[in-house]
Amino acid sequence: DFELIPLYDVEASAGNGSLVDQELQTGPLAFKKAWIKQKGLQSGICVMIKARGDSMEPTIYDGDLLLVNRRIDSIIDDTIYIVQTDNRLIVKRIQKTLDGSLTIISDNKKYREQIISPDQAKDIKIAGRVRWYGHEI
């Protein structure tokens, strides 16, 4: 009845970027198989990581768990993605415009949007799309 999704000791920064020096699996989290299928996901292409920082609040909080679909490696809609730059991961909302530029958006209004030109956008590496997040109450 359940799929096990691996949880890695990796953080995606909701801020300036978290350094990824290793990917140590710390254990799995269980999700219902029916839910995974309904979302169009597969356990072999998904991972769980943590968010670090406050730039995506009130949507994603510091320490939240993120279910990431690693098969998504390009911007397909205006949603939340994991962006890899050098050895850093960042979690942000990304919008692609008709001219090919990207708008990088933090949900926390104290952070400004960033516009990435079409030329610079070619160098942006999408490491996955966030499909679920969870936090303590």
Q: How confident is the model over 76-103, as pLDDT tens digits?
A: 888 999 998 777 899 999 999 999 999 9
Q: Between residues 13 and 36, which one has the greater pLDDT?
A: 36
Q: Between residues 135 and 107, which one has the greater pLDDT?
A: 107
CB-based contact 46:87 (threshold 8 Å): no
CA atoms within 13 A on the CB side of 31: 23
pLDDT at 10 over 70: yes
- How confident is residue 62, by pLDDT bands cut at 50, 70 and 90? very high
Q: How far apart are CA 5 and CA 3, in angstroms?
A: 6
Q: What confidence score (pLDDT) does residue 20 get?
A: 47
Q: How far apart are CA 132 and CA 69, in angstroms?
A: 9
